[in-house]
Amino acid sequence: MKVSKIMTTKVVKVEANTPVKEICRVLISHKVSGVPVVDGENNLLGFVSERDIISKIGERGFLNKRALEVMNKEVLAVDKDASSEEVTKIFMTNPYRYIPVVKKGKLVGIISRKDLIDHLMLGYY
């Protein structure tokens, strides 16, 4: 099955200039452990996880830093036409909880481990 049939399309995301303080609020209020970072045209630029934020806590002006300064720029994303098998392999070999889904570089969704498990369980129940 294609990722586009499983992914979440209402993605919690931030823009590159979003302050870390606001990113923390977003993570807490939406109960997620990371968010994609996009530009004004919804192009995927990076991903900010709790780990990325925690790694910067001791730095001067930490809460005033922007997403662009703390995000991971080497983001593993999948195309919306990728298969659920491809995504399963990624989750099995990487510590990721979420994988951004793109179409021509633009963020169109996100898939989580939970989304994949929900999909797999539908075949059994």
| Tens-level pLDDT at each residue, the chain (125 residues) | 899 999 999 999 999 999 999 999 999 999 999 999 999 999 999 999 999 999 888 888 888 899 999 999 999 999 999 999 999 999 999 988 999 999 999 999 999 999 988 887 875 55
Q: Helix, strand, or coil here: 54?
A: helix
Q: In this structure, what CATH number is given to the domain that contains residue 87?
A: 3.10.580.10
Q: Helix, strand, or coil here: 38?
A: strand
Check: pTM over 0.85? Answer yes or no: yes
Show the domain range for 101. 3-122
User: Is-contact 8 109, C-beta < 8 A?
Assistant: yes
Which string of DSSP letters, residue by residue, matches 67-108?
HHHHSBSS---EETT-BHHHHHHHHHHS--SEEEEEETTEEE
Instruction: Give the Cβ contact number of residue 110 at 10 Å.
Output: 26
- pLDDT for the residue 119: 84
- pLDDT for the residue 63: 83
DSSP-derived secondary structure letter, 51: H
Nearest of 112, 108, 96 to residue 50 by alpha carbon: 96
Total domains in the fold of the chain: 1
